[in-house]
Amino acid sequence: MSVTIRLQREPFDAAKEIAALTRGRTDIGAVVTFAGICRDDENGEPIAALNLEHYPDMAEAEIGRHIEAACRRWRLLGVTVIHRYGRIAPGEGIVLVVTASSHREAAFAAAEFLMDYLKTRAPFWKQVEKPGGKTGVKIWVEAKTSDETAAERWDGECRSKA
Amino acid sequence: MKVRYFAWVRERVGKAEEEIDPPAGVATVGDLVAWLSRQGEGYAYAFENPNVVRSAIDKHHVRANARIAGASEIAFFPPMTGG
C-alpha cells in the first residue's frame, strides 16, 4: 500500500501522479482519479482566482487519517492526495485524489469517500478574488450544507453495517 | 498554550496566533471561546456565533465540550471549504 500526501503551492500533473502510483505494479487493476478544478464563477458571479488558506500540519494529519479510514473500508493498493494552497487561477487544479485497487469498486468508492471528507474535514479555506483588479475585494467562500450531507452519508453506512 | 486562528476568524481576531494563559476554571473549548470573546472587540466579533466556529486541539477536530487540559495547540476556524 503506497500512500502519498502532498500540500503544495505549485500545480500538479495528474498523468504523472498516476504513473508514479502504478509504476512497476502488476497487482493494480483499477485507478480512479478525481481532480477538483477552479471554475471562473462562484454562485454565478465571475471570479479572478481562488486563494486557499490552510492549516499545514493538521491538513496533512487529517488527510492521513481519512486515508487510513478508507483503507479500513476497502482493499486499496495505493492512494495519492495532493491539495494545493495559495492563489489558484480558473482552469487550474485545486485537489487531486488517486486511488488504486485490484478491481474498480474499491477505487471508485474510496475516491468519493476521500473527496467528501476532504471537503468538510480537511482544514482549507477558499477565498474568492473578484475580477477588475480592485484590491481588497476578497470574499470567503461559505461552506455548503450539501457537502456536509455528502460526508455524513458515509457515517450512516458505517452505523448501518455495525 | 498556543492558540491559532484561520481564515475569517484570524481576520476578525487580528492575528494568526498567540500564547495565552487563561485563568483556572476555563476547562473546555467552550469555556475558552467564552473567555476569548471577552478579550476585545475583534474576539467578540470572531466568536459572535460560537456554534459556527470550529475548533481543533493538537490538530484533531474537537467539539465545544472537549477539555483543554494538557493541550499544546488549540485552533479556531470557520467551517472548511477545501477540496
Here the ipTM equals 0.95
Chain A interface with B: residues with Cβ < 8 Å: 36, 52-55, 57-59, 61-62, 83, 94-95, 115, 118-127, 140-143, 147
Distance CA A7, CA A52 (A): 11
Q: Tell me whether residue B83 is in a domain.
A: no
- pLDDT for res A162: 35
- Count of domains for chain B: 1
- For residues A83 and A95, the answer to whether their CB atoms sit within 8 Å is yes
What pLDDT does residue A160 have? Answer: 43
**B12–chain A Cβ distance below 8 A for any pair:** no
For residue B59, the enclosing domain spans 2-77
pLDDT classification of A26: cutoffs 50, 70, 90: very high
Its pTM surpasses 0.90: yes
Q: How far is B82 from chain A (nearest CA, A)?
A: 5
3-state secondary structure A93-116: EEEEEEEEECCHHHHHHHHHHHHH
> Domain-by-domain residue ranges, chain A?
2-156
Half-sphere exposure of B53 (CA within 13 A, CB side): 31
Residue A57 pLDDT > 90, yes or no?
Answer: yes
| Domain-embedded: residue B72 | yes
* Cross-chain Cβ contact B83/A124 below 8 Å: yes
- In a domain? residue B47: yes
- Chain A positions touching B61 (Cβ under 8 A) are 62, 121
B75 contacts A120? CB cut-off 8 A: no
Q: Comparing C-alpha atoms, which of A62, A55, A66, A86 is closest to residue B73?
A: A55
CATH number of the domain within which B53 lies:
3.10.20.30
**Interatomic CA distance for residues A2 and A76, integer angstroms:** 9
Averaged pLDDT, A58-78:
97
Q: Is residue B82 part of a domain?
A: no
* Element holding A31 (H helix, E strand): strand A30-37
Our CA-based measurement puts residue B83 at a distance from the nearest CA of chain A, in whole angstroms, of: 5
pLDDT single digits (tens) B6-59 = 999 999 999 999 999 999 999 999 999 999 999 999 999 999 998 999 999 999
Domain membership of residue B68 (yes or no) is yes
Superfamily the domain A2-156 falls into: Molybdopterin biosynthesis MoaE subunit (3.90.1170.40)
Give chain A's mean pLDDT.
92
For residue B18, tell me if it sits in a domain: yes
Q: Is A55 close to B81, i.e. CB distance below 8 A?
A: no
**Predicted local distance difference test score (pLDDT) of residue A133:** 66
